[in-house]
Amino acid sequence: MSAVIELLEERGVYYRLSGRDILVHCLNPDHEDRSPSMRIDRVLGVFHCFSCGHKGSVFRHYDVEYSELEIRRENIKRIISTIRSSGIGLSMPEGYMPYIGNWRGIKPEIYKKFNAFRHHDKHFVGRINFPIKDAGDRIVAFQGRDEMGTLDDKYMFYPSGVKLPLFPQVRPLQGRVILVEGIFDMLNLHDKGLDNAICCFGVKNFNETKLNFLKISGVTGLDLLFDADQAGEAGAEHVKKLTNNFPVRVIKLRSGDPGSLVQKQVTGLRRKLYG
């Protein structure tokens, strides 16, 4: 039972559930509401009467303290529950072999952590492959990277056209996460000590929905780390336009990309950003 429902029951308020919302008679004392016209978000406690327009928070209305952190936790639980109930996700391909190596200077432990693998199937052969998981820990896709530079496409996503989440789920550092474009950018940063890095698989995949998920996950700031070229600059501008007043820092590299940073550079970057 959510904290909102508990509060309504404590105050003797008649309610009816409607999807993710709660229907009640308007809480505005100046509105004689004959039929339930007010909707309350059952997690956030935000209400709106569609008859008189009265808006607010049920917690403030009843002068009850309830922290934003508790609201975020409940919202995350609800989202994860919805994701898990929507399907079982994909399975690792039968007969896969764990990848053991240090390609691009990334330690084997990192490849193991992210379940990198090889496989003989046409989708995976000749590639280092990764299962991409959502917030519910379901595999929603696989990404493969051409290891030898002999394939037509450098990157492969299977199934094609799937909606990709921000990956992986990480714990913010001082409330912030680092957003990069590619999976090997993310892997390189994790390998060298910045394990609050997440990738969006290209800035075109980053949108307001994903930003909102970061917010309710407790993220209070975003650090953008893209390639040191015009495309990287354009990508940073694209993300900044979506974030409105959300705190964003753009980290500019002198050259290269986040996947090419060496240990000394990543250590210095961590010190500069987080002390």
The tens digit of pLDDT for each residue in 73-96 reads 666 666 666 555 555 689 999 999
Residue 182 has pLDDT above 60, yes or no: yes
Q: Residues 6 or more apart from 150 whose CB is under 8 A from it?
A: 126
Query: Omega into 159 within 30° of 0, i.e. cis?
Result: yes
Give the model's pLDDT for residue 83.
54
User: Is residue 270 domain-shared with residue 180, that is, in the same domain?
Assistant: yes
H or E segment at 68? helix 68-85
User: Is residue 261 domain-shared with residue 202, that is, in the same domain?
Assistant: yes
Range of the domain at 112: 97-158
Residue 142 has pLDDT above 90, yes or no: yes
Please check whether residue 90 lies inside any domain of the structure.
no
Residue 145 has pLDDT above 80, yes or no: yes
* C-alpha closest to that of 87 among 138, 134, 133, 130: 138
Please give the single-letter amino acid code of residue 212: N
Q: What is the pLDDT of residues 41-56, one digit of tens each?
A: 887 788 999 999 999 9
Please check whether residue 8 lies inside any domain of the structure.
yes
3-state secondary structure of 203: helix
Please check whether residue 92 lies inside any domain of the structure.
no
* CATH number of residue 246's parent domain: 3.40.1360.10
Residue 165 has pLDDT above 90, yes or no: yes
* C-alpha closest to that of 196 among 124, 273, 104: 273
Q: What phi and psi values does residue 222 have, to the nearest 5 degrees? A: -125, 130
Please check whether residue 266 lies inside any domain of the structure.
yes
* Domain count along the chain: 3
Give the model's pLDDT for residue 200.
98
Average pLDDT of the chain? Answer: 91
Please check whether residue 167 lies inside any domain of the structure.
no
User: Is residue 109 domain-shared with residue 180, that is, in the same domain?
Assistant: no
C-alpha torsion 165→168→171→175, nearest 10: -50
User: Is residue 255 domain-shared with residue 202, that is, in the same domain?
Assistant: yes
User: Is residue 105 domain-shared with residue 192, that is, in the same domain?
Assistant: no
3-state secondary structure of 135: coil
User: Is residue 113 domain-shared with residue 145, that is, in the same domain?
Assistant: yes
Please check whether residue 170 lies inside any domain of the structure.
no
Give the model's pLDDT for residue 51.
94
Q: What phi and psi values does residue 230 have, to the nearest 5 degrees? A: -65, -35
Residue 255 has pLDDT above 70, yes or no: yes
User: Is residue 206 domain-shared with residue 250, that is, in the same domain?
Assistant: yes
Please check whether residue 165 lies inside any domain of the structure.
no
For the sheet containing 176-180, what is the strand order?
A: 197-199, 176-180, 221-225, 248-251
User: Is residue 128 domain-shared with residue 183, that is, in the same domain?
Assistant: no
User: Is residue 109 domain-shared with residue 151, that is, in the same domain?
Assistant: yes
Please check whether residue 115 lies inside any domain of the structure.
yes
Cα 154 to Cα 126, 129, 148, 205, distances in angstroms: 10, 12, 9, 18
* CATH number of residue 62's parent domain: 3.90.580.10
Residue 154 has pLDDT above 70, yes or no: yes
Q: How far apart are CA 148 and CA 151, in angstroms?
A: 8
Residue 265 has pLDDT above 60, yes or no: yes
Return the higher-pLDDT residue of 80 and 22: 22
Contact 193, 186 (CB under 8 A): no
E strand intervals along the chain: 15-18, 21-24, 38-41, 46-49, 55-57, 97-98, 117-118, 127-133, 139-146, 155-158, 176-180, 197-199, 221-225, 248-251
User: Is residue 133 domain-shared with residue 184, that is, in the same domain?
Assistant: no
The percent of residues above 90 in pLDDT, for the chain, comes to 74
Give the model's pLDDT for residue 64.
83
User: Is residue 180 domain-shared with residue 258, that is, in the same domain?
Assistant: yes
Domain boundary among 27, 46, 66: 66
User: Is residue 150 domain-shared with residue 180, that is, in the same domain?
Assistant: no
Domain boundary among 158, 189, 207: 158
